[in-house]
Amino acid sequence: MTSKPEVFVGIDVSKHRLDIAVRPSGETWSVANAPEAFGPLLKRLKALHPTLIVLEATGGLEAAVVAELAHAQLPVAVVNPKRVREFGRASGQLAKTDPLDANLLAHFAEAIRPPVRPLPTAESERLASLVTRRRQVLNMLTAERNRQQTVLGAMRERIATHITWLEGEAQALDEELRQFIKQTPAWQATDELLQSVPGVGPVLSMTLIADLPELGQLDRQEIAALVGVAPMNRDSGHKRGKRRTQGGRASVRNVL
């Protein structure tokens, strides 16, 4: 008896449209990137019984459809766009259109098979948004402090007022993060364990909990590669190149 072929789906996400490609059938179609289009899309995808669905991280444009796919218990993975671009160059796809990108994602899913990650819970999403907002406020504080040194008179006073507000906002976010973690027993235990390690303080602990949920589920080599702190070999023949880190999760790496 012949086994049923595996099905791989790539979804290219833009602000107003989703382009879908299926391998090995070559089927393609497009739908609006809007809640009213998700129901028919899910029904059509479920009928395909896909082995894996792959999308690129697009700064949040993919969030709604990824949530719908995960809630429908479809196997979905969100991948780094850089990996897909490098895969496209390696496979000879240089042209770029949304349908071609969708097909490339399906090909990537079939060849690379990135792991399916569990959908973050509402609490995890809130924690991640708090950590992200804290990072944004600190970046604004740095920019305003640098800017304050280059202006004169009344403008310096206005910047000083904004700095005072940003400092208060950062403190409020720190307190909200502390209280939020305390209210979640599992996170509280993780936070206590992480901060028991010399050199790990509350900021690093909160960042790891929010931005690296795979911590504790992968071995040390895999987690280092995921963050982008694992030195990559650059060897060829007798040549031994310099090891360098690359890629990974910049938010975690920067705090580390």
Please give the angle made by the CA atoms of 50, 216 and 116, to the nearest 5 degrees: 10
Taking only the tens place, the pLDDT of each residue in 218-247 is 778 878 877 888 776 665 555 565 666 566
Please give the angle made by the CA atoms of 116, 97 and 100, to the nearest 5 degrees: 50
**Tokens 């303080």 label which residue?**
201
pLDDT value, residue 182: 84
Residues 6+ apart with CB under 8 A from 140: 166
Provide the 3-class DSSP secondary structure of residue 31.
strand
Tell me how crowded residue 91 is: count the other CB atoms within 10 A of its CB.
12
Instruction: Give the chain's end-to-end CA distance (angstroms, integer).
Output: 53
pLDDT value, residue 121: 76
Percent of the chain whose predicted confidence (pLDDT) is above 90: 45
**What residue spans of the chain are helical by DSSP H?**
35-48, 63-71, 81-90, 98-112, 122-148, 153-182, 185-195, 202-211, 220-227, 250-255
Going by the DSSP 8-state scheme, the letter that residue 17 receives in this structure is E
Where does the pLDDT of residue 9 fall: very low under 50, low under 70, confident under 90, or very high at 90 and above? very high
pLDDT value, residue 241: 55
pLDDT of 3 above 80? no
Q: What is the DSSP string of 128-152?
A: HHHHHHHHHHHHHHHHHHHHHTT--
> Bridge-partner residues for 29, per DSSP?
20
pLDDT value, residue 187: 82
| Rounded Cα distance, 207 and 197, in Å | 15
Q: What is the mean pLDDT of residues 201-224?
A: 82
Taking only the tens place, the pLDDT of each residue in 87-143 is 999 888 776 788 899 999 999 999 999 988 767 777 888 888 888 899 999 999 999
pLDDT of 216 above 90? no
Going from N- to C-terminal start, the domains of the chain cover 8-112
Q: Radius of gyration of the chain from Cα atoms?
A: 22
Q: What is the mean pLDDT of residues 78-93?
A: 88
Where does the pLDDT of residue 211 fall: very low under 50, low under 70, confident under 90, or very high at 90 and above? confident
Taking only the tens place, the pLDDT of each residue in 12-42 is 999 999 999 999 999 999 999 988 899 999 9
Provide the 3-class DSSP secondary structure of residue 207.
helix
Domain 8-112: top CATH class: alpha beta
Lowest mean pLDDT among 51-60, 185-194, 231-240: 231-240
Taking only the tens place, the pLDDT of each residue in 132-182 is 899 999 999 999 999 999 988 889 999 999 999 999 999 999 999 989 888
Where does the pLDDT of residue 55 fall: very low under 50, low under 70, confident under 90, or very high at 90 and above? very high
Which carries the bigger pLDDT value, residue 186 or residue 203? Answer: 203
The helix (H) or strand (E) run that includes residue 8 is strand 8-13
Say if pTM beats, i.e. exceeds, 0.75: no
pLDDT value, residue 20: 97
